[in-house]
Chains A and B, each alone.
Chain A
Amino acid sequence: MRRYAIPAFFLTPATVLIVLFFMVPVVATLLLSFTDISTTTLSKPSWVGLGNYRDLLADPFLKKILANTGKYVALTLLFNVGMGLVLALLTSLVPSQIGDQFRALWLLPRILPPVVYVFIWQGLLTQAPMGLVSDLLGVSKNWIAAAPWSVVILANGMVGASFGMLIFTSAIRAISRELFYAAAVDGATTWQTVRRVILPLLSWPILFVTAYQTLSLLTSFEYILLLTDGGPGFYTTEVWSLRAYHLALSNYFGNVEFGLGAAMAAVLVLIGILVSLFYLKIFNFQNLVVEPKVEVN
């Protein structure tokens, strides 16, 4: 018994937090998703079993929203991870004073509150004479309405790239110097060093950043909400989580469907789990966590 006392002691606080803030909400969401709770049935919701899920399947807009979600996650992820990697490599290859400053600059969008950040984008992209882009290009239009997807992906990507940049930079710093010396002695060019030495050693952080960003992109919608609110027009940029938000918390006429929104959130949890499993498989997670063959002390 005493064998488990100390581990239990250390694990309890984290377990309590996880149960309170992760498990309970998931269970609550699942329970809500089996009821018809909405504005009008708030005080007396009734159990509808899988009714909400059947409703979801019958939703004629579902395909469009799924396709949007795929597009949003895939393209933003590509930008996030790719840009993060490029930034990390470039800032590591230049002298560290310059590299550090440059990285600090890239962190600015992340430390700005999203609303302020989006206001800046809106200011840049609105019609002339207020909009900078309209002014510079000499074509006055609302660029957010004209190219909603590019704006949504760039606005998200600029923030997201800094995350990858930090993780990748620290991973590159952690690569032991001897490997670089050895590569140099072997006559490797910079590109060969990057391709053969750095990138293979970054596969674990790349897995982590890709998986983490996928999951957070699946559930994040605040920039889309603020930039386009799913528009312009017909569900142009409406993604799964934004649709769930619209159903469950926001509706111009004030009758909101919490139950249906919860069902959408529950589906999102399922998608998240499947995506994570998929990543673990293609990045060969088992191999990444095997015990090192040589004990280094």
Chain B
Amino acid sequence: MRGLRLFVALLAVFGLSLAQKTIVIKAWTVGPDDPSITRMTNLEEAVNRLNAVLEKENADYRVKLEASFDTTDWDNYLRRVLLAFQSGQAPDIVQASAAPLIGVWATAGFIAPLDEYVNRYPVFQLEVIPTLWNAVTFKGQVFGIPQDTEARPLYFNKTLLKKLGWSERQINDLPKKIEAGEFTWDDLLAVAKEAVAKGVVQKGYGYWHRPKNGSDFIEWYRAFGGTIYDNQSGKLVFEKAAAKRYFSWLKKAVDAGVLRADMLDGNWRNWHQNITDGKVLFWSGGTWNWAEWTQQWLKDKGGQDWLWANVGFAPQPSYKKGGKPVTLSSPQAYMIWSGSKNKEIAARILAFVTAPDLDARHAVGSGHLPVLKSTPSIIDDRFTREVSALLNYTTFQPLHADLPKWQEAFYRGVSAVESGGLSPDQAVEVVAAEMKRALKDELIVR
């Protein structure tokens, strides 16, 4: 009799173990900055929470997440994702910049529309800051769940400004003057020129932008009065006058010894090193750099305290007095592969990852800005609080499938002018010709 009971019990356990399946969900995430690892760990936490709920629901499956976090660079990561899409071996969840990748990948049919899930899980409607849905909506359909956003400040070294003879008050007022349109790019150039002349900074260390191609060039094109997208026709726009203003400014900056002619050397290490050594006067960066500097570059110098003592930030100035300053936000989004067999579960994970505590953890840990309405109330972080004010000046990239071609051509113009290969006038013509070749009738040249 006892033997029979034991047998039945064993059979039951065996049956249960057979019945409970493990479903593997794959997710690829990218920084490439190290502190953004919360893009992956938040997903892991979301899966834990989902499994706890599945336990309560007595569901016959549990979810196992196989996630990776890429810290190489965007180029590498996007190539990996693209090859995975092509070969039908893509992960269920992919994280990437909403613009332009949602435009590109949705056009290619690689990612699935998510409207159904956005309506199914109330958290999406209740929590996500509404304007962010615009950043993930392409041709009327939602293709991504906002993961984070950021701003791209103009940073300045307060200590170097002091050395140049600026008073404490002048330094503290600089962001306000930029916001009011009183301090323009030409003023910045004049100050940086003076700093080089007086030996406060080395030649070429007056103003730095990023050493590689990136979305920031759209922001500077806009700061110089450029329009990139025509809402009526849905076409991209290249404004020669604005591009010429920006290119001419770059040329002046290189000629004045303010900007390095080889600024675009792709060397991020050198960039971070010199900035955190306090050798650069003005530079344009991203909010996430703050976290990188704190955690990676200034560990031995006092981390964030060094930054507060030495570094200030403001939006990117306008090119003319009284003009509006700008910054650019490039929200990240989680997307679901159209070929995924577990879209339902992947979407449910994304509902769990859309939680204020996880959003806060990522924002504070990585120097990004929250995407959920109730996150700010649970964050007590000076940088997040102060830098969020930049969002008043923010702009987004247009979700156009061919935006990358626009960006590539514009970047070539910048690099041609800086290295002295072309004059600003020639560069504008070359960029216009290259854009016309690449974009054909998707472009309006003004």
Which A residues contact B (CB, under 8 angstroms)?
A: 39-43, 55, 58-61, 64, 127, 142, 144-146, 229, 231-236, 249-256
Contact = CB atoms under 8 A, between A and B. Distances in A.
A232 B262 contact: yes
A252 B74 contact: yes
A127 B404 contact: no
Nearest to B260: A145
A255 B429 CA distance: 23
B139 interface: no
Contact of A234 (B109, B212, B421, B438): B421
B437 interface: yes
Contacts of A40: 104, 107-108, 401
Q: Which of A40, A42, A43, A229 has the most CB of B within 10 A?
A: A40
Contacts of B75: 250-252
Contact of A59 (B86, B403, B404, B437): B437
A43 B101 CA distance: 17
Contacts of B100: 253-255
B266 interface: yes
Contact of A60 (B81, B85, B266, B430): B430
Nearest to A127: B270
Contact of A55 (B78, B418, B437): B437
Contacts of B433: 58, 60
Contacts of B264: 231-233
Given A254-B78, A254-B104, A59 B434 contact: yes
Nearest to A122: B267
9 contacts: A61-B434, A232-B265, A233-B415, A253-B100, A254-B78, A254-B100, A254-B101, A254-B104, A255-B404
B395 interface: no
B70 interface: no
Contacts of A250: 75, 79
Interface stretch (B13-21, B229-237, B405-413): B405-413
For the complex of A and B, the 10 pairs showing the least CB-CB separation, nearest first, are A233-B419, A253-B404, A254-B78, A234-B416, A255-B404, A234-B421, A234-B415, A232-B265, A40-B107, A145-B265
Interface of B: 74-75, 78-79, 81-82, 85-86, 96, 100-101, 104-105, 107-109, 212-214, 261-262, 264-267, 270, 401-405, 407-408, 412, 415-419, 421-422, 429-430, 433-434, 437-438
Given A60-B437, A233-B265, A250-B75, 20 more contacts: A59-B434, A60-B430, A60-B433, A146-B262, A232-B262, A232-B265, A232-B419, A236-B421, A249-B79, A251-B408, A252-B404, A252-B407, A252-B408, A253-B213, A253-B404, A253-B408, A254-B101, A254-B104, A254-B404, A255-B100
The secondary structure that dominates the B interface is helix
Contacts of B82: 39, 254, 256
A145 B211 CA distance: 12
B412 A235 contact: yes
Contacts of A59: 434, 437
Contacts of B101: 253-254
Most buried by A among B266, B404, B408, B419: B404
A33 B433 CA distance: 22
Contact of B108 (A41, A55, A146, A233): A41
A101 B163 CA distance: 59
A273 B81 CA distance: 35
Contacts of B79: 249-250
A60 B270 CA distance: 32
